């Protein structure tokens, strides 16, 4: 027992938010030390072998510009592990980068995973962490981590609703008395917003743009709710062999994003439809707390207010909420017992 405490003192315990768009790693007393895209670039060698060329920021910078013998992989794209081998390499890379072999003791690792992943995929994540050198691995469900990270008092007897809009998925959870009452996960998030923008711009302007451009456009002038009119000039190709530029407006954005936003509201409503009626008063009172990068889309809170008829509020630094929540679980023995599975 004493020996165990001694080990605990010197090991670099890590909390990992394994997101479909971004992976964050935090270490006790140092906070979030890694925050990089969940992206890997591989190069094909003879006989179909793959060699990892870049991971994280470096890999994302190559997006849209890579030669034919290379491939950009987002191993967690839709909230499921599409590519197990690459996921494992990515997790190992981030763990090693955070650990820097600074300690001889193997770390305990808590990993937050999308709610919708299967038992086989859970095992895959866990095994990847063990094979990267973890001493103990704890898996944490995303909506609970998001709620904790957003500062929601999950142990109170009042119900709270959290909606985490990530890249590949939106996770919706209702918590009360330290547990999850209802939960839903839908494969609509920031990536779908980007795709909707690509399709809209192609149809309306005959302009072909890539995912990177669409994402930047979304950050710059995207909005979920009519707001101050803005526009941006976008370059791409016209499908007929010419390179062109067009002026895209925030009104275009709202039209493009209408469908994926509607799908998110349908999922939220499905969850509201399942909550015990006694919790309704709490949710009306507390409103919906928004976390995840997708919630940074301008006017998202206003959109929710209009279509769900509930108050909605972004938490502080939505991109960091899940990582913070996962770290809280790892640091608290009781939370670790109740909210994680091995």
Ligand X SMILES: Nc1ncnc2c1ncn2[C@@H]1O[C@H](COP(=O)(O)OP(=O)(O)O)[C@@H](O)[C@H]1O
Least distance from ligand X to the Cβ atom of residue 90, Å? 12
Neighbours of 336 (CB within 10 A): 18
- Closer by beta carbon to ligand X, 113 or else 279: 113
Residue numbers at the binding site for Mg ion (CB under 5 A) = 19, 166, 322
Least distance from Mg ion to the Cβ atom of residue 292, Å? 5
Least distance from ligand X to the Cβ atom of residue 171, Å? 9
Residue numbers at the binding site for ligand X (CB under 6 A) = 19-22, 166-168, 190-191, 215, 218-219, 222, 292-294, 296-297, 319
Least distance from Mg ion to the Cβ atom of residue 120, Å? 21
Q: Secondary structure of the chain in the HEC alphabet?
A: CHHHHHHHHHCCCEEEEECCCEEEEEECCCEEEEEEECCEEEEECHHHCEEEEEECHHHHHCCCCCCCCEEEECCCCCCCCCCHHHHHHHHHHHHHHHHCCCCCCCCEEEEEECCCCCHHHHHHHHHHHHHCCCCEEEEEEHHHHHHHHCCCCCCCCCCEEEEEECCCCEEEEEEECCEEEEEEEECCCHHHHHHHHHHHHHHHHCCECCHHHHHHHHHHHCECCCCCCCEEEEEEECCCCCEEEEEEEHHHHHHHHHHHHHHHHHHHHHHHCCCCHHHHHHHHHHCEEEECHHHHCECHHHHHHHHHCCCEEECCCHHHHHHHHHHHHHHCHHHHHHHEEC
Least distance from Mg ion to the Cβ atom of residue 324, Å? 11
191 binds, among Mg ion, ligand X, none (CB under 5 to 8 A by kind): ligand X
- Closer by beta carbon to ligand X, 12 or else 20: 20
Least distance from Mg ion to the Cβ atom of residue 168, Å? 9
- Closer by beta carbon to ligand X, 319 or else 339: 319
- Closer by beta carbon to ligand X, 207 or else 322: 322
Neighbours of 89 (CB within 10 A): 20
160 binds, among Mg ion, ligand X, none (CB under 5 to 8 A by kind): none
- Closer by beta carbon to ligand X, 159 or else 222: 222
293 binds, among Mg ion, ligand X, none (CB under 5 to 8 A by kind): ligand X
- Closer by beta carbon to ligand X, 11 or else 87: 87
185 binds, among Mg ion, ligand X, none (CB under 5 to 8 A by kind): none
Least distance from Mg ion to the Cβ atom of residue 17, Å? 6
75 binds, among Mg ion, ligand X, none (CB under 5 to 8 A by kind): none
- Closer by beta carbon to ligand X, 13 or else 17: 17
294 binds, among Mg ion, ligand X, none (CB under 5 to 8 A by kind): ligand X
């Amino acid at each position: 027992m004493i020996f165990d405490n001694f080990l605990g003192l010197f090991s670099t315990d890590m909390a990992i938010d394994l997101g479909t768009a971004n992976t964050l790693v935090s270490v006790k007393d140092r906070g979030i030390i890694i925050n990089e895209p969940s992206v890997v670039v591989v190069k094909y060698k003879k006989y179909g072998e793959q060699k990892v060329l870049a991971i994280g920021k470096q890999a994302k910078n190559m997006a849209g510009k890579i030669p034919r013998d290379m491939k950009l992989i987002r191993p967690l794209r839709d909230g499921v592990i599409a590519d197990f081998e690459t996921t494992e390499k990515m997790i190992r890379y981030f763990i090693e980068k955070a650990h820097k072999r600074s300690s001889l003791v193997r770390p305990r690792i808590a990993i937050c995973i999308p709610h919708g992943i299967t038992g086989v995929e859970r095992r895959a994540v866990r095994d990847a962490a063990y094979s990267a050198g973890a001493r103990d691995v704890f898996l944490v469900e995303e909506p609970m981590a998001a709620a904790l990270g957003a500062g929601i008092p999950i142990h109170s007897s009042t119900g709270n609703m959290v909606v985490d809009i990530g890249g590949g998925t939106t996770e919706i959870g209702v918590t009360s008395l330290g547990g999850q009452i209802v939960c839903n996960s839908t494969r609509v998030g920031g990536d779908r917003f980007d795709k909707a923008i690509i399709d809209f711009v192609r149809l309306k302007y005959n302009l072909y743009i890539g995912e990177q451009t669409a994402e930047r456009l979304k950050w710059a002038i995207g909005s979920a709710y009519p707001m101050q009119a803005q526009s941006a000039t976008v370059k791409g190709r016209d499908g007929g062999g010419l390179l062109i530029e067009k002026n895209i407006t925030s009104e275009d954005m709202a039209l493009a994003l209408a469908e994926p936003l509607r799908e998110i509201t349908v999922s939220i409503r499905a969850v509201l439809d399942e909550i015990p009626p006694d919790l309704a008063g709490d949710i009306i009172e507390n409103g919906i707390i928004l976390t995840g990068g997708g919630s940074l889309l301008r006017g998202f809170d206003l959109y929710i207010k209009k279509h769900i008829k509930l108050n909605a509020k972004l938490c502080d630094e939505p991109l960091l909420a899940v990582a913070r929540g996962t770290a809280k679980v790892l640091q608290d023995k009781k939370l670790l017992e109740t909210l994680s599975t091995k």
